[in-house]
Amino acid sequence: MAAELLFVPFKKSSDVDIVKPLRNLINSTYNTGDHHEDYTEALNELSRLRANAIWKVFEKTSLDIIYNYHDQLASLEAKVPPQEVQIPFKWKDAFDKGSLFGGRMSLTISSLAYERMCILFNIAAMQSLIASQQPVETEESLKQAAKLFQQAAGVFLYLKANIMMAVHQETTPDLHPETLDALAKLMLAQAQEVIAFKCIRDEMKDSMVAKVCAQCEELYTDALRAMQKDQLKSLWERDWLLVMASKQQAFRGLAQLHQAQQPQGMPVPYGAGAAYPYYGAPVPQLYNPYATLPYPSHARMPPPQPYQPYQYPAPAPFAPQPPPAGYNPYPPQ
C-alpha cells in the first residue's frame, strides 16, 4: 500500500498427538460390537492438516489451509463431547516479547474450543498480513485489501464475544477481550484507509473524499484510544501507536482539505460533521474570517468607492493693505 499498513502477528503452537486420543475417544463413544469403523486415516489427515495450519502460515495457500482446519475443528467439536477431549493444546501469546512482566506467555488447555479460538486468531492475523501486502496498482487488489481487513475485524469481534466461554480461565494477553476489541478497531480503520486511498486515486468528488477521510480519522481515533489503555500499551510494537497517531492527523487534514475545495455553499457531507463540529458551516463561513465578525451593520455596509485624492483649496492671492487711519509707527517719546 502507499502508506504503512499494520498486520497482527501469529500465535504459535507446538506439535501434539491428536490421533491417539481422538481414536480412543471415538472407539469408546461411537464404535460398538455391531458398528465398528476405523477412523485412523481420517485422523492422520487431520493431524497433517493441523501441522500445515500452524507451521506453514507464510505460504500463499496458507489461508485456505487454516480455513479448512478450522472447519474440521468446528465439525469435530459438534460431535465429540468437549469434556472427554484429553489433548493438551498449547498456544503462545502472539505479542510475547520475552518479558517476564508481560502477563501469561502461553496457555495449555485440553479443549477443542480453545484450539478453534486460537486458529481463528491466526485466520484474522493472516487476513491482515495479506491485506497489508496488496499492491495499489489495480482496483481489484484494493477491494481485496479492504475486504480482508473487514473480515479480520469481524473475526476479532467474534473472539471477543466468545473467548471467555471457550477458555473459562485467564487467557494470554492477546486473547483478552480488550485486546481483541482494540485489534478489531485497528482493522476497521485500515479498511477505511484503503477505501480513502481508492477514492483519492480515482479522483472522486471532494464531498465524497471528505466524508471517507473524516470517517477514517474517527476510526483511527477510536482504535488509538483503545490501544493506549494502560494494560494494553506494552503489547504493541514500538511504532504502532506513532503510525496510528500520524494517520489520525493526516486524515483530519485531508478531510479539511477536500471540504475546503468544494464549491462555496455546498452542504457538508454526511459524516464530516460528526468528526468535525465546525463543518456545520458552509465553506465561505468556514474559511473567510471576516464573514462572521459580530458587526450589526456588516451585511448592510455600502460597497467601497474608488479612491479619490484629497483636493486642497487654492490659496488666495496676496495684496498689500494700507495702514489704518491715525496709525503712527513712531509713538512720541
Tens-place pLDDT, residues 103-119 = 568 999 999 999 999 99
Of 7, 243, 1, the closest CA to residue 125 belongs to 7
pLDDT at residue 91 is higher than 80? yes
Q: Are the C-beta atoms of 113 and 71 separated by less than 8 Å?
A: no
Of 187, 192, 132, 131, the closest CA to residue 159 belongs to 187
* Answer CATH for 1-30+44-147 from 3.40.50.880, 1.25.40.280, 3.40.190.170, 1.10.3720.10: 1.25.40.280
pLDDT at residue 294 is higher than 70? no
CA angle 172/176/179 to nearest 5° reads 115
Higher-pLDDT residue of 84, 17: 17
DSSP state of 13: B
- Rounded Cα distance, 189 and 6, in Å: 11
- Rounded Cα distance, 272 and 232, in Å: 30
Higher-pLDDT residue of 178, 105: 178
- Other CB atoms closer than 10 Å to residue 112's CB: what's the count? 21
pLDDT at residue 56 is higher than 70? yes
Mean pLDDT check: name the lowest of 4-8, 66-70, 130-134, 297-301: 297-301
Bridge partners (DSSP) of residue 121 are: none
C-alpha cell at 133: 501486502
Higher-pLDDT residue of 285, 80: 80
C-alpha cell at 176: 483478552
pLDDT at residue 255 is higher than 50? yes
- DSSP result, 219-265: HHHHHHHHHTSTTTTTTS-TTHHHHHHHHHHHHHHHHHHHHHTSPTT
- Rounded Cα distance, 120 and 78, in Å: 17
Higher-pLDDT residue of 245, 4: 245
Q: Are the C-beta atoms of 1 and 194 separated by less than 8 Å?
A: yes
Longest dimension (CA), the chain: 167
Gap between the terminal Cα atoms of the chain? 113
Reported as a pLDDT band with limits 50, 70 and 90, residue 321 is: confident
Mean pLDDT check: name the lowest of 41-55, 234-248, 267-281: 267-281
- Name the most confidently modeled range: 34-48, 94-108, 188-202, 263-277: 188-202
Is 20 strand, coil or helix? helix
pLDDT at residue 25 is higher than 50? yes
Could you state, in order of their start, the residue ranges of all structural domains in the chain?
1-30+44-147
Looking at residue 137, its amino acid is E
- Rounded Cα distance, 262 and 244, in Å: 28
Reported as a pLDDT band with limits 50, 70 and 90, residue 281 is: very low
- Rounded Cα distance, 180 and 186, in Å: 10
- The average confidence (pLDDT) of the chain is 81
DSSP state of 290: G
Q: What is each CA distance from 158 to 67, 103, 116, 117, 166, in whole angstroms?
A: 15, 23, 12, 9, 12
DSSP state of 297: T
CA angle 274/277/278 to nearest 5° reads 140
Q: Are the C-beta atoms of 121 and 159 separated by less than 8 Å?
A: yes
Reported as a pLDDT band with limits 50, 70 and 90, residue 307 is: low
